[in-house]
Amino acid sequence: MHIQGITCVLVVTLGSELVPSLQPNFESNSRLDNWWDAHRLPPLLRPKPARCEPKDLGRGDTFRLTPSLFDYTVLSTWNASKPVGADGVRVQERVEYRGQHFSSCYVNTARFEYSLVEQTQTVNVGVECPGNQTVDYPIYVSMQTNMVFAVELNKDFVGQYYGSIRGIDSINETSSTDYRKQVLAAIQAIATDSLAIMSKNHLSSPALSMRLSFNVDPDTAEPIPRTEALTYVNGTYAQSFPSEALIYVNTIYNLVNTAISAVNLDLLNNKTLNIFKNATFFHSRMVKNPPPPPINSSNWAEGFQTFYYGNLAPGYQTWAEMLLDGKPVSLGNPTGLPEQSAM
């Protein structure tokens, strides 16, 4: 009876071992079977992969989208088909992600922050996904991403993206029109302008911190100022930018506009105007940002190197001016974008 049972097992498994066995003796010149020579179990007996579990989404979750440019942190989620409570407050809940695309999402807020202590500049970009009411499960998502810029490579957004030993041309030898190269080159150039300009002594007392927040038009990508503040090293606090600090406005707008378009590109938002997809819009939104009189160019954007493109080329006063001239990349026709933006 036992022999019959063993025979049945061998017939079903076609002679394959259900449990791998070790060699009884080791010989240095023994030849082991290659993995492609090994007997495999018949298909019906092979273990099957586990079924995919539905993915849920809720406050505090962090994820990337298919284009893989930014990390997003979820601020709020809810099922948009459910009514608002009697108190007028919609209750947050974890929602099921069913593979919906993020192309209907858009940038709706932005915030610029400068810190003398940290030696950083940060652009926070808020994103809203309103939820498509025509589908049976519309989910609303509010999320944000942060870009930190610094002169230290391992502290800077672009430096962290590539790592300390990788150059900007190292993405699989892609062309100069590759969307990742275009976005990261533009961000690096404009951030270098901002870091250089705000490091110089232009004010009556150095700025300890600056903050400027915006609402962003979902159609035009226009940043609309909402709040602003500046604190001097001597302790003076201003709820609006003093007139002497207005020389930094173009610098801030260039950086914020670049960040807004970069995030909208990562979302594959085709509704909103975008400097990376429309050269005309790029030239209308970006300004050359030369030094205002009586500031000399040597006391403006000069003296700071980008991580991967070196110094300003002769004849240019800012990286914004170079970028508008198609250097180091020409914006307006990115390639390599995936068809859909999904988790």
Q: In this predicted model, what pLDDT tens digit does every residue of 71-123 receive, in sequence order?
A: 999 999 988 778 777 787 777 889 888 888 899 999 999 999 999 999 999 99
Q: Residue 259: is its pLDDT beyond 60?
A: yes
Alpha-carbon radius of gyration of the chain: 28
pLDDT in tens, 27-83: 556 655 554 455 566 666 666 665 656 688 899 999 999 999 999 999 999 887 787
Q: Residue 190: is its pLDDT beyond 80?
A: yes
Candidate from 14-18, 86-90, 273-277, 305-309 with smallest mean pLDDT: 14-18
Phi, psi of 126 (to 5 degrees): -95, 145
Phi, psi of 145 (to 5 degrees): -140, 150
Q: Residue 254: is its pLDDT beyond 90?
A: yes
Cβ-proximal residues to 59 (8 Å cutoff; 6+ apart), any chain: 74, 75, 76, 77, 92
Q: What percent of the chain has pLDDT over 70?
A: 80
Residue 123: strand, helix, or coil = strand
The pLDDT-based confidence of 172 (bands split at 50, 70, 90) is: very low
Mean pLDDT computed over 1-24: 54
Q: Confirm if 226 and 110 have CB atoms less than 8 A apart.
A: no
Number of Cβ atoms within 10 Å of the Cβ of 221? 23
pLDDT at 138: 82
Candidate from 11-15, 250-254, 320-324 with smallest mean pLDDT: 11-15
pLDDT in tens, 206-230: 999 999 999 999 999 999 999 999 9
pLDDT in tens, 290-317: 999 999 999 999 989 998 889 999 999 9
pLDDT at 124: 99
Residue 263: strand, helix, or coil = helix
pLDDT at 241: 94
Q: Residue 162: is its pLDDT beyond 50?
A: yes
